[in-house]
């Protein structure tokens, strides 16, 4: 017998249990195939209607809330670009204070969720996020990572991967796309002693949903690093969003793991990794890459995989296995 849909904040075993109710409406102006909305739709389903969303400036904000319209069926606030962490801190502090004083119902749980982009998180919003983590505000902070400033037209961020073309890391005589290694936000979150941190990916909805439930139930700040393919900025056909997201996992480019109260766990093991070339060749932003650059990127990924395997204490993400040519 099929499992029934669950209520908010309950874990699921299959995607058939994801609640039907939509808390974000269509009609917004996100690009075709935007990865953000697969993620946001499901995380809101997991959180339920008793949720306040804080949304620093970015694609998600501008495409959903051009006055007099809003796609959000939950209370939502945008203040500025660099202060998602601090605005959420204030929202959470106010809920706490007003509940204590009996102005808000004491027994009613109100979730506070931040949806922020990579620019608003790893760059300009970094300090405010760090403060929020360190002060132990009960907030779920979701980083919707599309690996560049897409809202302003594809400029590089501290999350842009090695090799990627952006408008500020163009391919020219001297520059050949981004040449540095991106920030490791998971480790930065863990260094703040957050109780729960995890990577998520829209191609893996059950894993994503359950991590949201865990994040919401954590007794302090929780961090979800969401991989969010951007057809516009990464230069691929919008129909491939989920495929690109999946390939990121299958190549070990995006390892799905969690840090749960001190314990690391890879939640989607990949025993035979595909070469990162498979991921690279799907996207126009990597088109210029030389064999040498691809090799360098593969090394970066190998190192990252090795690091995560070390964290979990066993080889859960396996070696690269080239497919046999037919």
Partner 1 sequence: MITMVKMVRKALTTNYAVAHAAKDSDVDVIAAYPITPSTPAAEKLAEYVANGELDAEYVHVESEHSAASALVGASAVGARAFTVTASQGLIYMSEVLYIASGLRLPIVLGVASRALSAPLSIWGDMHDIAPLRDAGLIIYFVSSAQEAYDSVIQAFKVAEDPRVHLPAIVDYDGFIMSHVTEPVDVIDREDVLKYIPKKVTWNTLNPKQPISIGTVGDPDYYYEFKYQQQVAMENAVKVAEEADKEFEKMFGRGYGLIEEYRMDDAEVAMIAYGAHAGTARVAVDKAREEGIKVGLIKLRLWRPFPTEHLMKALENVSVVGVLDRAMALGAPRQGPVVKDVISMYASDPSKAPKVASYALAIGQRDVKIEDLVAVAKQLDEFAKGKEIPNKTICIGLRE
Partner 2 sequence: MTLPGWKELPEGAVVREPGNTVTISTGEWRVFKPVIIDEKCTRCRLCWIYCPDGTIIEVDDPNAPLGKRYEVDYEHCKGCGICWKECPVNAIEWVPEER
By the rule CB under 8 A, 3 interacts with partner 2: no
Minimum distance between the CB of residue 36 and partner 1, rounded to whole angstroms?
16
Residue 36 in the binding site for partner 2 (CB under 8 A): yes
DSSP state at residue 125: T
Residue 134 binds partner 1, judged by CB under 8 A: yes
User: Which segments of 197-284 does DSSP mark as H helices, in order?
Assistant: 205-217, 231-234, 241-250, 276-280
> How far is 168 from 281, CA to CA, in rounded Å?
21
Query: Cα–Cα distances in Å, from 210 out to 31, 50, 108, 193?
Result: 27, 18, 22, 21
Q: Which of residues 32-51 bind partner 1 (CB under 8 A)?
A: 49-51
Q: Which of 165, 132, 127 is nearest to 147 (CA)?
A: 165
| Closer of 64 and 309 to partner 2 (Cβ) | 64
For position 74 contacting partner 2 by CB under 8 A, the verdict is: yes
CB proximity list for 95: less than 8 A, separation 6 or greater: 52, 104, 110, 112
Q: Does 188 bind partner 1 (CB under 8 A)?
A: no
Partner in contact with 26, chosen from partner 1, partner 2, none, beta carbon below 5 to 8 Å by kind: partner 2
220 near partner 1 (CB under 8 A)? no
Q: How many whole angstroms separate alpha carbon 269 and alpha carbon 3?
A: 25
> Which residues contact partner 2 (rule: CB under 8 A)?
2, 15-16, 18, 20, 22, 24-30, 32-38, 41-42, 64-65, 67-74, 202, 205, 231, 237-243
List residues near partner 1 by CB under 8 A.
49-52, 54, 61-62, 65-70, 72-80, 82-83, 85-98, 100-101, 103-104, 110, 127-128, 130-131, 134-135
């Amino acid at each position: 017998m099929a499992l029934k849909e669950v209520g908010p904040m309950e874990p699921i075993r299959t995607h058939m249990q994801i609640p039907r109710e939509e808390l974000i409406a269509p009609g917004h102006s996100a690009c075709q195939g935007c990865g953000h909305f697969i993620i946001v739709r499901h995380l809101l389903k997991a959180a339920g209607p008793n949720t306040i969303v804080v949304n620093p400036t970015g694609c998600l904000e501008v495409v959903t809330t051009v006055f007099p319209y809003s796609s959000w069926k939950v209370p939502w606030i945008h203040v500025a670009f660099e202060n998602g962490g601090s605005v959420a801190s204030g929202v959470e502090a106010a809920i706490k204070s007003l509940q204590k004083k009996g102005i808000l119902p004491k027994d009613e749980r109100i979730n506070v969720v931040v949806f922020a982009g990579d620019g608003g998180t790893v760059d300009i919003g970094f300090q405010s996020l760090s403060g929020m983590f360190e002060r132990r505000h009960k907030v779920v902070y979701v980083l919707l990572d599309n690996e560049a400033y897409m809202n302003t037209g594809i400029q590089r961020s501290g999350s842009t991967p090695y090799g990627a073309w952006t408008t500020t890391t163009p391919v020219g005589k001297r520059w050949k796309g981004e040449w540095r290694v991106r920030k490791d936000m998971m480790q930065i979150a863990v260094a703040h002693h957050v109780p729960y941190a995890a990577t998520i990916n829209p191609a893996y909805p059950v894993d994503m949903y359950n991590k949201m439930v865990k994040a919401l139930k954590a007794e302090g700040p929780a961090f979800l690093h969401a991989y969010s393919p951007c057809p516009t900025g990464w230069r691929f056909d919008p129909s491939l969003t989920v495929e690109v997201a999946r390939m990121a996992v299958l190549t070990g480019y995006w390892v799905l793991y969690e840090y749960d109260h001190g314990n690391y766990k890879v939640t989607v093991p990949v025993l035979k990794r595909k070469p990162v070339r498979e991921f690279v060749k799907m996207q126009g932003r990597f088109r210029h890459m030389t064999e040498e650059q691809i090799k360098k990127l593969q090394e970066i990924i190998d190192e990252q995989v090795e690091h995560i395997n070390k964290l979990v204490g066993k080889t859960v993400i396996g070696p690269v296995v080239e497919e046999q040519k037919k």
